[in-house]
Structures are given as structure tokens and as C-alpha cells.
Chain A
Amino acid sequence: MTATAPIAPAAGRPRRHYGTHLFLVVMAVMWLVPLLWTLYAALRPKAVTDKYGYWSLHGPLNLDNFTAAWSQGGMATYFGNTLLITVPSVVLTLGFASMMAFAVSRFTWRFNLTLLILFTAGNMLPPQVLAAPLFEMFKHTPLPYSISSSGTLLDTYYAVIAVEVAFQMGFCTFVLSNYMKALPSGLTEAARVDGASVWQQYSRIIMPLTRPALAALGTLEVVWLYNDYFWPLLFIHSGDRLPITTGITNLQGQFLLDYNMIAAGATITVIPTLAVYLALQRHFVAGLTLGASKG
């Protein structure tokens, strides 16, 4: 392996990388096989795989499992719930994080670094550490029945949204504050001289300039929240309120041993993330590497 790991050749002398290609092709195949195997199982009728086994080339390929998984699994509901949780969470996270980042990066005050450190640290905690107290806090937070059928914050989207926002805010604040720090101070100075208030400096000057970072973080957060499993698992108990990633595990119980259906459900669940990947890959990668890359 190491023998095939040369470093970029000196400029102007393209080298042929047969060994490297061989290695990469083998790796790429290994990376693709799980996805292709899932897709293949999803496309095959159960009767055929029962008869010939999954390791076979028999029979028709069709979308029957997909339609069955979609309707029997109630996946439309799960997707709707994901939307209801993800969109407000991302908007609120970016809104709060950008305000916080603006305040800590464009002004100095006594605790700004301390708070930034606390925000950054908070999002690195294992979420399980907070589970019990949050559950109890929400259980004892009364809400009118008109907005929560539990009468408390439990089993509501609000609970999940609140915790997602709190957890993701730390990371976004951190990234945005770095980004904002790099914006020339002259911008806001000039605006201040023209009499712009703090809010105007934030909303008219800094935020527009921060858009690339917001786009990258937004894409990243959408995918992360779409993929979140733990918080809905903890707070939501009604099957018809679960988001897709937590709900999909119900499918596993429901389609017990029916690997074709499970594969179909899995494929459907993967589609939106892959769509984001194809459409907004750069934003996603930028979000991931924002600040992580050497500037």
C-alpha cells in the first residue's frame, strides 16, 4: 500500500500512477458495493430472492418494494416530520449563531472569549450526558393541549427543535465568528461613522458578506439534522411524529426479515441526502472544512 503512495510529482513531469489507480479502483469498488447491493436487493421481488437466494441473478427488477415500503411504512409522514423539524432548526440555529458570532467577533467585552469557548465546547459533548436532565425538564414544562397533546414539551417537535438548535448553535457560532473576524474592520467602521446602529451593521453589512458561510453551514446542518437519530428517539414517542431517520428503524421491526423491503426503505431514505450531495456538494464540503482547512 505504502509503495503506491507517492506524492505529487514535481510540476511538469506527469507520472503514470498504475499502482495508485489499481489501489483506488479496488477501494472504490469496496466503497460502492454496499450501496449497490442494497439497491439490487431493493429492486428484486421477495418471492424471487426467497427461491434463488440473494446471491443470484434471477428474476425481474421492479419498483414494487419501493411503493410497498413507501405506503406500508408510512414514509411520507416521516419525511413530513423531518421537514417540520429540520427547517425551523436550521433557520433558528443560523439566526442565533450569526448574532452571537457577530457580537463576539466584532466587539470586545469582558466575557466574549469565555462564552465562545463554552459554546464551542458544548457542541462536542456526548449528547447522552444531557439526556436525563433534559427529559425531566421537558416533562415538567407544561404546555396547553392545543399545541401539545402531551400537555408538556415531551413528544413534541418543539423539544427536538430546541435541543437541536442549542446543540448545533455552538458549532455554527464558532465557524461564523472566525469568518466574521476575517472581514475587514473598515466596513463596519465606515457604517458606524454614517450612523448605522449595531443592528444595521449586523443585518446590512456583516450578514450579506457572511452568506457563503451561511450557505455552507445551512447545507451541512440540513444533512446533519436529517441524519439525527438520538434526540427524536429520546423525546418523541408517537410513531406518527418521528422523523425519517428515527422512523426508519421502525420499518426494520415492521418488515422483519424482509430484507427486500428494508433495502427499499433504506434506499428511499438515502435519496434526499444524495440529492443534496449532487446539488450542493460544494456547500456541504465547504461547511465541513470551513475553518478546518488551512487558511
Chain B
Amino acid sequence: MSVMPQTTLPSAAAASAGVTAPSARPRRVRRLSGRDRLVLGVMVGVPTLIQAVLVWIPTLLSVGLSFTKWNGLDLADIRPAGLSNYTYAVEEYPPFWPALAHNIIWLVFLALVATPIGLLLAVLLDQKIRGTRLYQSVFFTPVMLSMVMVGIIWQLIYARNEGLLNNLLGTAGTPGAVDWFGDSDVNLWAALVATTWRHAGYIMVLYLAGLKGIDPSLREAAALDGANGRQTFFRVILPAMRPINIVIVVITIIEGLRAFDIVYLINKGTNGLELLSVLVIQNLVGAGQVIGVGSALAVILLVISLGPIVYYLVRTFRRAD
């Protein structure tokens, strides 16, 4: 499930909803009694400790391990290795560049195909058309499924002789039948189509919620000014949707970087489906444990991920200051 990014935006200013909840004026901790401060300390301390021990310290350890050589067995065997794991990954490890390229393709495909499909569906379904709820339910159903299930279900579509696709194309059972998940010329795209099946519905729901929150008077005003549908959308709606647009951009990028389950299910991320996340795991827990190299790859993935994460955090929390 790691693919579902658990990112959301804080709701923007509530002006348009007409609710002017008096903003909470948080109290200063200093004014609390000793006992209350203790309680508060525990309420903060326990979650923070969990978070630190299980998320942040391991992240730092990964960085540390990336400068060592280790086969993952005896702690005493850890030896310093300088930058050699990085040079190995970049210069000697053949799957590295394909994996990076695949991650970029993954990202670009989500950004240019999957996400726009979701946006289009949201915009269409936001109209007062008949059956909109039914359509929404249909497009949303795959969002409930794990990427593993998506992979298994699409396996049934893509199988060489048994699959629906080749039967529809009339090639099933012939030598011309394409093995959609097995042929490295097409399997990345086949996996992306399967991913889109789920991703588009996700984006649709988020965007639809955003569109529903748009103040109707904005549209009315635009209509009164004589703007047509498209003009209204691009000049009025889209700018008003800025906060959610940012979420969607970030979600798309993070999904592109966290993709793992579906390719691991198909063929453990080999033969055309190499992704950075899978290479990390192959080196870390596979039969051949090369912790240093795996950690170096993990750090590279981390550094790339920090870009969108920081961008998102800055956009989100700047206002809160």
C-alpha cells in the first residue's frame, strides 16, 4: 500500500465557506500547572519517541550504512567504505540508470496521462449530469484496492494466451501474442496503464472535493461577465484551486517515487521494470545482501524524494507561521 501517498493539504482559509470560526489562540505551556505539563509531555513524548526511533533514526542509519561495506550478518563485519557504494551504484551497477529512467518515465506518465485523466473525470462529473454518483463510484472503486490486487487483476488482462487483451486483439494463442507484463519493451507501459486505473480515480476524488468547495458565486460572476465554460474554468476555477493543485502535483511525484508493489509483484522489478525502490530492496534483503549498496541506493531515493517533500512542507506550513 506504500503507493498511496498519505499526503493531504491543510484546508485553506475558510473564507468562502462562510464559517468564521474564531481561530484558536493556543495557550502557552508555561502557564500550565506542573501536573498538566507532565501529562502534556507524555502526550507529546510518546508519539515523538516512536516517530524518532522508527522513522528518523533509521533514516539517518541508512545514510550512515551507505558509507560502509557490510553483508548484513554480523555487526562486527561493518567496514568503512567511503563513497565507494555510490560510485559502484552509479558507474558499475547496470540496473541503476535504467531504474532511474523508469522512475522518471513513471513520474512523467502519471503527470501527463494518469493525473490529467483524473482531473478530466472530476471536471466532467462536477457538472450536474445524470448518474454522476454512479460514475464516481465506478471510477473510485480501484482506489480501494491495493496495488498488489491491481497487479493480479491486470495480470488476468495481460496474460499472453489467457488474457483478455490478446483475446480482444485476436492474437491470443498465436506466436504474435504480446506478453504484456513479460516483454521488456512494453511491460513498463502495461504496468503504468494498470497504475493509471487506480491513480486516476484517486485524483478524481481529490479534485472533485476541491471543485465542490469552490464558491458558486465565482461561477455566477464569470457567467454574468459572459465567460464561456472553458474561460471560466481556466481563468476562475483553476486559480481558485491552487492549494489542491499543489497537493495533486506532490501526490503525483511521490507516487512516482514510491512505486514498488506492482512491479515487485510482476517480476520482482527485473527485466524492464527496474525502479529505484526495488533495487534498494534487492540489495538489502535479497539472497545477496549488500547493505552498503542498498543503503546508497536508498539515500539516492531519499534525496530525490526530499525535493517534493520540502516543497510541500514549505507551501503548507509557511502560512501557519
Could you list which residues of chain A lie within 8 angstroms of chain B, going by C-beta atoms? 1, 4-11, 14, 17, 20-21, 23-24, 27-28, 31-35, 37-38, 41, 49, 53-55, 96-97, 99-100, 102-109, 113, 115-137, 140, 162-163, 165-171, 173-175, 178, 180-186, 192, 197-199, 202, 223-230, 233-234, 245-246, 248-249, 252, 259, 262-263, 266, 269-270, 273-274, 276-277, 281, 284-285, 288-295
Beta-carbon contact of B284 and A8 below 8 Å:
no
- Known interface pairs A24-B125, A123-B6, A126-B2; 17 further A-B residue pairs with C-beta atoms within 8 A, sorted by A's residue number: A5-B123, A7-B219, A8-B126, A34-B154, A126-B277, A131-B294, A132-B294, A134-B58, A166-B53, A174-B10, A175-B8, A183-B21, A248-B149, A273-B144, A291-B11, A292-B244, A292-B247
Most chain B CB within 10 A, of A23, A119, A230, is at A230
Beta-carbon contact of B167 and A54 below 8 Å:
yes
B186 within 8 Å of A (CB atoms): no
Beta-carbon contact of B298 and A227 below 8 Å:
no
Size band of the interface chain B makes with A: 35 or more
Beta-carbon contact of B46 and A248 below 8 Å:
no
Give the chain A neighbours of B308 by CB distance below 8 A.
124
Most chain B CB within 10 A, of A11, A28, A295, is at A295
Task: Give, as a whole number of angstroms, the nearest-CB distance from B75 to chain A.
Answer: 8
Per the bound structure, the CA–CA distance linking A94 and B320 in Å amounts to 23
Per the bound structure, the CA–CA distance linking A186 and B4 in Å amounts to 37
Beta-carbon contact of B40 and A181 below 8 Å:
no
Give the chain A neighbours of B104 by CB distance below 8 A.
none
Task: Give, as a whole number of angstroms, the nearest-CB distance from A263 to chain B.
Answer: 6
Beta-carbon contact of B55 and A293 below 8 Å:
no
Partner of A34, one of B21, B157, B162: B157
Give the chain A neighbours of B55 by CB distance below 8 A.
122, 125, 130, 166-167, 170
Task: Give, as a whole number of angstroms, the nearest-CB distance from A108 to chain B.
Answer: 4
Q: Known A55-B167, A289-B209; judge A198-B1 contact (CB<8 A).
A: no
Beta-carbon contact of B8 and A53 below 8 Å:
no
Task: Give, as a whole number of angstroms, the nearest-CB distance from B181 to chain A.
Answer: 12
Partner of B26, one of A99, A108, A123, A166: A108
Task: Give, as a whole number of angstroms, the nearest-CB distance from A292 to chain B.
Answer: 4
Per the bound structure, the CA–CA distance linking A135 and B280 in Å amounts to 13
> Closest residue of chain A to B25, judged by CB?
A185
Beta-carbon contact of A169 and B50 below 8 Å:
yes
Most chain A CB within 10 A, of B25, B201, B241, is at B25
Per the bound structure, the CA–CA distance linking A281 and B201 in Å amounts to 14
Beta-carbon contact of B8 and A130 below 8 Å:
no
Beta-carbon contact of A266 and B167 below 8 Å:
no
Per the bound structure, the CA–CA distance linking A168 and B2 in Å amounts to 11
Per the bound structure, the CA–CA distance linking A162 and B233 in Å amounts to 45
Task: Give, as a whole number of angstroms, the nearest-CB distance from B168 to chain A.
Answer: 8
Beta-carbon contact of A134 and B123 below 8 Å:
no
Give the chain B neighbours of A181 by CB distance below 8 A.
23-24
Task: Give, as a whole number of angstroms, the nearest-CB distance from B270 to chain A.
Answer: 16
B16 within 8 Å of A (CB atoms): yes
A-B interface contact total, Cβ < 8 Å: 397
Q: Known A262-B156, A284-B144, A292-B206; judge A55-B10 contact (CB<8 A).
A: no
B240 within 8 Å of A (CB atoms): yes
Most chain B CB within 10 A, of A53, A266, A274, A294, is at A294
Task: Give, as a whole number of angstroms, the nearest-CB distance from B14 to chain A.
Answer: 5
Task: Give, as a whole number of angstroms, the nearest-CB distance from A14 to chain B.
Answer: 7
Most chain A CB within 10 A, of B152, B155, B310, B312, is at B152
> Closest residue of chain B to A180, judged by CB?
B24
Per the bound structure, the CA–CA distance linking A103 and B27 in Å amounts to 10
Give the chain B neighbours of A289 by CB distance below 8 A.
8, 205-206, 209-210
Give the chain B neighbours of A96 by CB distance below 8 A.
46-47, 50
Beta-carbon contact of B298 and A292 below 8 Å:
no
Beta-carbon contact of A133 and B139 below 8 Å:
no
B243 within 8 Å of A (CB atoms): yes
Most chain A CB within 10 A, of B53, B139, B145, B229, is at B145
Q: Known A32-B138, A117-B317, A134-B58; judge A100-B21 contact (CB<8 A).
A: no
Beta-carbon contact of B62 and A130 below 8 Å:
yes
Partner of A185, one of B13, B24, B233, B321: B24
Give the chain B neighbours of A169 by CB distance below 8 A.
47, 50-51
Give a binary string over B192-216; 1 marks a CB under 8 Å from any A CB, 0 the rest: 0000010001100110011011101
Q: Known A17-B129, A134-B58; judge A293-B244 contact (CB<8 A).
A: yes
The stretch that binds A, out of B80-88, B89-97, B106-114, B255-263, is: B255-263
Per the bound structure, the CA–CA distance linking A98 and B93 in Å amounts to 45
Beta-carbon contact of A131 and B21 below 8 Å:
no
Partner of A117, one of B140, B281, B284, B313: B313
Beta-carbon contact of A28 and B40 below 8 Å:
no
Beta-carbon contact of A259 and B24 below 8 Å:
no
What 3 A-B pairs have minimum CB-CB distances, sorted nearest first?
A295-B11, A227-B146, A7-B229
Per the bound structure, the CA–CA distance linking A66 and B87 in Å amounts to 51
Beta-carbon contact of A10 and B50 below 8 Å:
no
Give the chain A neighbours of B51 by CB distance below 8 A.
118-119, 122, 166, 169-170
Give the chain B neighbours of A163 by CB distance below 8 A.
54
Most chain A CB within 10 A, of B40, B121, B237, is at B40
Per the bound structure, the CA–CA distance linking A284 and B151 in Å amounts to 22
